[in-house]
Each structure stands twice: as C-alpha cells, then as structure tokens.
Amino acid sequence: MKMLGVLGGMGPLASAEFMRQLTLLTPAARDQDHIPTVLWSDPRVPDRTEARVHGGEDPLPALVNGIRGLEAAGCGAIVIPCNTAHGWFDGMRGATRLPILHIVDAAADELRRQGVAEGPIGLMGTTGTLAMRLYQERLGFECLVAEELQESHVMPAVGLVKANRVAEAYAPLAEVARRLRAQGAKAVVLGCTEIPLGVAAGPALGFPVIDTIAALARAAIGWAKA
C-alpha cells in the first residue's frame, strides 16, 4: 500500500487527532490493513495567521522543509491537517512532485457525504484562513461568517486548544456555531483543525458540523485505497 505523508505540528494536538481519525475511519481487520503513514510534526513552523494578517515570518520555507522530509521517507501523497497552512498551497505544490490533498476539497466532499446539497454554510476558522478566503473561493457553497465573534470567541478558543485547555474552548465555539445556525446555515464547517477538538469537548450541537480533521482523513483513505 502507498505511504501517506502528514505535514503536521500545526498544532501538534490536531496532528495527533488526525492520526487517530485516520486509524478509526480506515476499514481494517488487522494491523496490515491500515495505511502506512509518516507524520512530520514540526511545531516550529511560524504562525500562519501572524504571517498573513500581521506580516509575520513566512512559514513556506519550513513547510517545504517538511515536504522534503516526507519525500525522503518515500511518501506518495501529502495531507496537511492545518487549514491556514493551505494559504501557501500553491507554493508547496510547486515545490514537490507529490500530490497534496486539499483540506477544503475534503470538506466539500464531506458536506455532500452528509447530504448537504446547498448553502449557505457557516464557516469557522482562524482570522488568517478567513482573510485569505480559502473556503469562500473554493468550497463551492455560499459561506456565512460571524465576524463580530471572530476575535472575542473563535481565536481565543483556538488558543485554548493549542494550550491543551480543550474543555474551556467548547462554550465560545458552540456559541459561534449556534449563531451561524440561527443565521440560516445548513451546516457549519469547522475550518480550523483546533476547532473540532473544542467542539467535541461538550454536548453535540444538534445540527450538521463538518470536522475538517475527519474529512481530511477520509480523503486520505480514499487516496490510499484507490
């Protein structure tokens, strides 16, 4: 079976959750049925939102360095369990011969898999992801964003997950998701890989949400089993 490369560390907990989801979602009856995988988890990659919104250090050299490591390990494709890093997708794709599975495409597939055929779709993500319009221009659905809660709720909650205070992130994230639902969202895309961890720390929201970690894992399984 082909080797999957995981360009991770952004953040480390999200990368670990991707590996867990990849394992749980893979149809397997024994060890040998699972997907050979190399996880490159490098938390030293410069902050992606800081780079895009505030002119911080460019993360692309560190991302390409990870890609080189995965190439050397013999991987046949790459996934990146960090939504904001996909703002440098073209630069990464231009630096490798390996296919890179795009997380927004995986989210669109997951919407269809859950029977969501039309928008609007609620979108939660980092300020960097929203500023780069990664979902608005690629998802294929009209997107709703709770801009008024972005800096007061979403970004602090993402920081809580990165600080391993996952349970504390649930309340602000659930409030944003419910606000989007009240505005008419047919489903809510959790477009930052820290957000599904926070949302999973409390009661189910009662409406469709798209876990982009799980969606990317399903895309990886589809690639490996093709």
Show the domains of the chain with their CATH numbers: 4-101+214-225 (3.40.50.1860), 104-212 (3.40.50.1860)
The rounded distance, in Å, linking the Cα atoms of 39 and 14 is 12
The rounded distance, in Å, linking the Cα atoms of 99 and 117 is 27
Asked if residue 1 has pLDDT above 90, the reply is: no
> Which pLDDT tens digit goes with each residue over 185-224?
999 999 999 999 999 999 999 999 999 999 999 999 999 9
Whether 192 is catalytic:
yes
Q: What is the pLDDT of residue 190?
A: 98
The pLDDT of 42-46, averaged and rounded, is 98
Nearest Cα to Cα of residue 191 among 209, 171, 165, 217: 209
- The catalytically annotated residue of 10, 14, 82, 92 is 82
> Which pLDDT tens digit goes with each residue over 93-148?
999 999 999 999 999 999 999 999 999 999 999 999 999 999 999 999 999 999 99
- The catalytically annotated residue of 192, 201, 214, 221 is 192
